[in-house]
Amino acid sequence: MTLDAVSKILQAVLLACGKAMTVEQLIAIFGLEDGVNHEQVVQALQTLRVALEGSALELVQVASGFRVQVRAEFGPYVSRLWEERPQKYSRALLETLALIAYRQPITRGEIEDIRGVAVSTQIIRTLQEREWVRIAGHRDVPGRPALLVTTRLFLDAFGLKRLSDLPSLAALRDLDQINAELNLTEAGQNEQNGLMMAKDAQPHDDFQVEEHE
């Protein structure tokens, strides 16, 4: 099977799938008779990324693998296909998520100390229901408070391959700027009917999937 044929198959699979897939998952799409190996899939992904340049779609690598998504500039038009308005999140929730992202592992009490106000149970529950945050253990202090960390789905939702791709905290002046950099206010628009829409996520030059919990 030619590299071009493999590339087109990968494009079709990723478009139909509507979510990120690892190289191993993509290899499994092919049968033994196709004779497609790991190196060919990686090369085909590189070919696909180049082929999509100049189109409304792009291939990006996030924590869970590779996905084909609509470029950011076309997001506002695509979103008009759905009547419901994108979910809006409160400032308190966005600040809490930003603090978890940058200070993890962090306890609810530590978040409250930084923000200067109580963090409602509903905020933590919402973040867990979105599967952006999980409990990674407990602090070894009286009461053993839960340690909160972000998840692989958090990275996927914000177009990140790894936590080190977060904007430098030293370069951000306040939580408003953090929220703007992460596009937290528009996170609900990133996934609609299985077709991903970019939020300033840029393709990575390397094609090595990073594993995250």
Assign domain 3-82 one CATH number from 3.90.700.10, 3.40.1390.20, 1.10.10.10, 3.30.420.130. 1.10.10.10
- One pLDDT digit (tens) per residue for the chain, 213 residues: 899 999 999 999 999 988 899 999 999 999 888 889 999 999 999 999 999 999 999 999 998 899 999 998 998 888 888 766 666 778 889 889 989 999 999 999 999 998 889 999 999 999 999 999 999 999 999 999 999 999 999 988 888 888 888 877 655 555 555 555 555 544 444 444 334 444 433 334 444 443 333
Number of Cβ within a 10 Å radius of residue 181: 17
Fold match flag (3-82 vs 91-189): yes
Whole-number Cα distances in Å, 73 to 55, 105, 199, 213: 11, 34, 9, 31
* Domain 91-189 CATH class label: mainly alpha
**Domain ranges, ordered by start, for the chain:** 3-82, 91-189
Give the Cα separation of 102 and 151 in Å (integer): 13
Predicted TM-score of the model (pTM) = 0.64
